Amino acid sequence: MGNERKTIEQKAAKQKTTGQKLLRHFLAAIAYRTQKALREAPESFSEFSAGNNVRTPHELLWHMTGVLGYARTFFRGGVWQPEKLDSFAAEVARFHQVLEDLGAALENETPTRAISAEQLLQGPLADAMTHVGQLALLRRLSGSPVPPENFVRAAIHAGNLGANQPAPAAPDPGWSPELPPPAPGKNLPKDW
């Protein structure tokens, strides 16, 4: 009985470690893709409006910070209702600070409220990644599209949740902002 219990505990610890690593890597993917969507954006992009009652990029990033701060409350308790910061640069900095805080909590802390790794992923983390895609879409709508890349090859590291993200490792060859997006997989190198 003692060995069986030890094996179950070891398996549970390994699953927790694997889940933590995966979630931290997902946070790093959010950081990387957010910076990709913001890199070289015109200064006016932060207040671009795509239509009535559509969030601006500034408002989206503020919301993303709120969603990630909500995830952090499962580890630290309390309520997270951030006020919108006046400057977009300050909002970007706070977003990455919250990402780093959440990453540290995932690595070093146990949730104080009941939530599984799967629930974190399907809820606040997936929500944040959805909004990253919206930022990229808003870039195209604003006339400043984001160059595509092969994200499988991206230099994404769980320890890098800050704003200083690497340049694309595998940018889409032949991409031009003047051309419509090509069909998936067309005209790409075989090893891309």
Q: Mind listing the pLDDT tens digit for each residue in 70-109? A: 999 999 999 999 999 999 999 999 999 999 999 999 999 8
* Segment 143-181, tens digit of pLDDT: 999 999 999 999 999 999 999 999 999 888 888 888 887
45 vs 1, which has greater pLDDT? 45
Is pLDDT at 116 greater than 80 in this prediction?
A: yes
- In three-state secondary structure terms, 37 is helix
Question: Domain residue spans in the chain?
Answer: 2-153
Alpha carbon separation from 16 to 19, 53, 104, 119 (Å, rounded):
5, 40, 15, 13
How sure is the predictor about 7, in pLDDT bands with cuts at 50, 70 and 90?
A: low
How sure is the predictor about 191, in pLDDT bands with cuts at 50, 70 and 90?
A: confident
R_g of the chain, CA atoms, integer Å: 19
* Segment 10-54, tens digit of pLDDT: 544 555 578 889 999 999 999 999 999 999 999 999 999 999 999
Q: Tell me, what's the pLDDT at 134?
A: 98
Q: Tell me, what's the pLDDT at 96?
A: 98
- For the segment(s) 2-153, the CATH number from 2.40.340.10, 3.40.640.10, 1.10.3480.10, 1.20.120.450 is 1.20.120.450
- Could you tell me if residue 185 is left (phi over 0), alpha (psi between -120 and 50 degrees) or otherwise beta? left
